[in-house]
């Protein structure tokens, strides 16, 4: 009896349909064939289990289809969650490797309100730094305001404008001009600042540097010590310690000078400095009518000689919005006297002199010159052509002056303003302002 015939006879036997010769044949097969006996036992077990299940007993652990589907769904959800966790973990590892391999910028900087600067980078294209960061070769030109530098090494600096600087290396800053304060942590000892006249090497300290046109460079040490090297002449090298200051003297030597902490800022200003108006005049005194040769109160005739006087809007040829009178010049000069100008020149501040200029409607504009003086010495001067369209006095001539060492001997002298013009140049709304850099250090 082959396997298929055996299985058919067993099925009919347990269903009660096997009889006669087929039954005898199956019994003979079971007596003589061990494999047939094993098949009989399997069928008997299955048949018994099915009967028990019909009676409510599940000996085969058969799972209903709905439960099987729910279990598969739970299994699939757990699998998906495990895969998601694995993916997140892999992404985290990759990102951590990426972040670890991306070094922080060499230098970050921030600015105070009102700061005006330009930045340039040696690197261009996709490799150029983005945002307020500097890498070796990057430069900052600071026309006004204050910048805070934060090096990756931990060095911190405060630079006051006007200033210009270039980052050469992480540990080397080239300061072309400016007033700079630095704080160097122990781990960054060896940090260097170079100027046109000196190289300052930090030995663990807080120090300040002043580098200005027409004045020798200075270094001031507030704590710790620095090594200084003169870049000119005999190239004298020296060590400056806490409480000392040096000026780069002639032929490459150093000269002692007073320590001045008030020159420097150690924190970034939170507000834009407000200018103080120290002089203002719109030529309303004395009151006149029409075109006159009358000098304005508090002003005196000065060289070069020429026509000067006051004029008013009633002439029909002027349209000034600053009162009703202007001062005119036809080749002559006029200068403030000590009767109206009482301010003295101080060392720490930036002066701005502004004058509105215009012309008569019946004359073309000429050239005007404005000057700021200390006593009889000209501190700053500028000249500008008066526009033919400036009949409404919207044109402003302006000069900016920051004292330097070449004018140190003039500190304390009374300030003065001188105006010169040609072809009936008209002046109005003269205004002199100052922004002190450190009020406590004015002198």
- Per-residue pLDDT, 93: 63
- Per-residue pLDDT, 68: 47
Q: What is the pLDDT of residues 56-102, one digit of tens each?
A: 555 445 445 555 456 656 666 666 677 776 767 777 666 665 554 55
Q: What is the pLDDT of residues 346-388, one digit of tens each?
A: 877 789 999 999 888 777 768 999 999 999 999 999 999 998 8
Distance (Å, whole) CA 213 – CA 199 = 17
- Per-residue pLDDT, 428: 95
344 DSSP assignment:
B
369, 360 contact by CB (below 8 A): no
The CATH code that applies to domain 107-263 is: 2.60.120.1440
Backbone φ, ψ for residue 271 (5° rounding): -130, 155
Please return the burial class of 74, using the count of CB atoms within 10 Å of its CB with bins 0-12, 13-18 and 19+: exposed
Tell me the helix, strand and coil percentages in the chain, rounded to 5: 25, 40, 40
pLDDT at 319 over 50: yes
Domains 107-263 and 276-441 share a fold: yes
Distance (Å, whole) CA 178 – CA 200 = 15
356, 413 contact by CB (below 8 A): no
Interhelix angle 21-32/34-54, rounded to 10 degrees, is 120
- Per-residue pLDDT, 440: 29
Domain residue spans of the chain = 3-54, 107-263, 276-441
Q: Which CATH class is domain 276-441?
A: mainly beta
pLDDT at 218 over 90: yes
Backbone φ, ψ for residue 153 (5° rounding): -75, -10
The 3-state DSSP class for residue 423 equals: coil
- pLDDT tier, 54 (very low <50, low <70, confident <90, very high otherwise): low
CA distance from start to end of the chain = 127
CA distances from 389 to 98, 198, 357, 397 (A): 61, 50, 11, 15
Distance (Å, whole) CA 90 – CA 311 = 83
Distance (Å, whole) CA 352 – CA 99 = 49
Distance (Å, whole) CA 53 – CA 46 = 11
């Amino acid at each position: 009896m082959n396997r298929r015939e055996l299985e058919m006879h067993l099925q009919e036997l347990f269903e009660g349909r096997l009889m006669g010769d087929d039954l005898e044949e199956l019994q003979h097969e079971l007596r003589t064939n061990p494999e047939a006996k094993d098949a009989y036992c399997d069928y008997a077990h299955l048949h018994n289990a099915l009967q028990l299940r019909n009676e409510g007993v599940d000996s085969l652990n058969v799972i209903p289809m709905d439960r099987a589907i729910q279990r598969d769904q739970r299994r699939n959800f757990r699998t998906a969650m495990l895969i998601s966790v694995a993916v997140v973990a892999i992404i985290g590892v990759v990102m951590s490797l990426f972040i670890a391999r991306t070094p922080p910028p060499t230098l970050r900087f921030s600015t105070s309100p009102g700061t005006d600067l330009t930045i340039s980078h040696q690197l261009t294209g996709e490799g150029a730094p983005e945002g307020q960061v500097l890498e070796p070769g990057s430069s900052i030109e600071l026309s006004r305001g204050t910048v805070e530098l934060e090096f990756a090494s931990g060095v911190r600096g405060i630079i006051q404008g006007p200033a210009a600087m270039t980052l050469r290396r992480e540990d080397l800053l080239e300061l072309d001009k400016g007033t700079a304060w630095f704080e160097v942590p122990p781990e960054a000892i060896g940090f260097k600042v170079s100027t046109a006249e000196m190289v300052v090497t930090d030995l663990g300290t807080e120090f300040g540097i002043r580098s200005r046109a027409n004045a020798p460079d200075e270094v001031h040490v507030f704590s710790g010590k620095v090594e200084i090297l003169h870049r000119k002449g005999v190239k004298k090298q020296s060590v400056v310690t806490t409480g000392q200051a040096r000026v780069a003297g002639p032929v490459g030597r150093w000269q002692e000078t007073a320590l001045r902490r008030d020159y420097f800022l150690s924190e970034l200003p939170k507000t834009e400095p407000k200018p103080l108006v120290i002089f203002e005049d719109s030529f309303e005194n004395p009151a006149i009518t029409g075109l006159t040769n009358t000098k304005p109160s508090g002003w005196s005739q000065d060289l070069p000689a020429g026509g000067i006087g006051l004029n008013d809007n009633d002439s029909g040829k002027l349209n000034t919005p600053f009162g009703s009178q202007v001062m005119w010049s036809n080749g002559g000069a006029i200068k403030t006297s000590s009767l109206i100008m009482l301010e003295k020149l101080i060392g720490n501040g930036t002066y701005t002199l502004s004058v509105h200029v215009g012309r008569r409607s019946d004359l073309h504009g000429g050239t005007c010159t404005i000057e700021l003086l200390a006593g009889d010495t000209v501190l700053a001067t500028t000249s500008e052509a008066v526009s033919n369209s400036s009949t409404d006095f919207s044109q402003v001539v302006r000069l900016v002056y920051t004292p330097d060492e070449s004018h140190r001997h003039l500190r304390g002298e009374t300030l003065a303003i001188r105006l010169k013009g040609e072809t009936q140049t008209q002046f109005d709304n003269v205004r002199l302002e100052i922004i002190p850099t450190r009020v406590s250090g004015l002198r």
